[in-house]
Amino acid sequence: MAIILLNKKEWTKDGRKWIFYTRYKDLDGRTKQYKSKKYINKKEAQEAEKQFYLEFDKYRPDNNMTFKDLYTAFYDYQKDKVKETTLHTYHDRIRYMALLDNIKVKEFNIQHYEAWRKKILEYKLSNRTRNYIYKFLKTIMNFGTKWYGINFNEIYPKMTNFTDPSEIKKEMEFWTYEEFAKFISVEKNLTYKCLFKTLYYCGLRKGEARALNWNDIDFINNTVKINKGLSDNVNGKTYIITSPKTLTSNRTLPLPKGLVNDLKKLKEKAMEFTNFKEDWFIFGNAIPLGDDAIRRRKNNNCKLAKIKQIRIHDFRHSCASLLINNGADITLVAKYLGHSKIDETLNTYSHMFKNKLNNIINLIDTLDNNTAPNKKEEIDFEISI
């Protein structure tokens, strides 16, 4: 096998000039030759050669893939199948797989897994994050079973996720309407005022709000269209615009009149720029407001208003609380927040619905009191033997 730089006459117009050339034995034991297509650089040709053997090896009963081979194949396979943000997450989690690099997947056993598990426990991570990593490991193993015929049946039932009985679950933080009113009263900048109102009243995810353009606002029907998200620092880029988190995250929401009026004023200010475009970001003009700038502004406002600090994501929880405590139907809450299933809404905000159970009992008690007879009735009964 060899990586070859072609003669200049053989280069393609777009500069592809490297190939790999190899001999291999097919499943019948016959020797064959293979010449690859052309690649831009030597590294691409090397990676393609490696992938060629990984694909070929999946048919071999003596598969000698290591875990590094497997997760590299998984990552390469996913490159054109998932969002850039998802691929970035995969890349970030691969470092935790490196603990298994040299283990042959066909020899992977429960002892290997337990040793890996102990190493993961040494990292200062929440159990939630550890279980995301655990789930990623199982995803790679499933990929190995599907594409390379690797049998993990003996180890799968013995693998356990991460639990900590002593871990205290952090309670969900949110603001009441009164707390938010204090918060927004100290905000004098119109851009930030509109942003914080949008987060609180519409329950948007931070990335959904930051990705909004002026052409997402319908000032005739007073609605906002959510159809994308924004993420920072992905693959060396300052920010990227992606599709929403889920299909049901695509939604159109009504806007409160007060917010509509503020947004109209904000657009008038933006239109004063000679190069104004409808696809400018609502919160930031030509480029979106930075994540750090938003967080610092929020923190400062909390101090000025003398209210508790909450995360930007907790504005979304505050919106859910506002809807639930004012009698909104659970189906509408789920749709408003862009949840894919009502179960997701119930599981996330079940504690908020506990107060509603008392309301139901009070309703039944009221009905009973209203229909109860004015005087006690004697009840006759017989005992049959």
Domains of the chain: 1-45 (no CATH), 58-165 (1.10.150.130), 177-360 (1.10.443.10)
pLDDT of residue 1: 58
Contact between 299 and 292 under an 8 Å Cβ cutoff? The reply is: no
d(CA 330, CA 358): 17
Contact between 121 and 133 under an 8 Å Cβ cutoff? The reply is: no
pLDDT (average), residues 263-277: 95
Tokens of 80: 């054109």
Q: Which residue has the higher pLDDT, 28 or 349?
A: 349
CA distance between the termini of the chain: 96
Tens of pLDDT along 122-148? 999 988 899 999 999 999 999 988 888
Tens of pLDDT along 227-239? 999 988 777 788 9
Split at pLDDT 50, 70, 90, the class of 171 is: low
The number of beta carbons lying within 10 Å of the beta carbon of residue 337 is 24
Residue 178 pLDDT > 80, yes or no? yes
The number of beta carbons lying within 10 Å of the beta carbon of residue 252 is 12
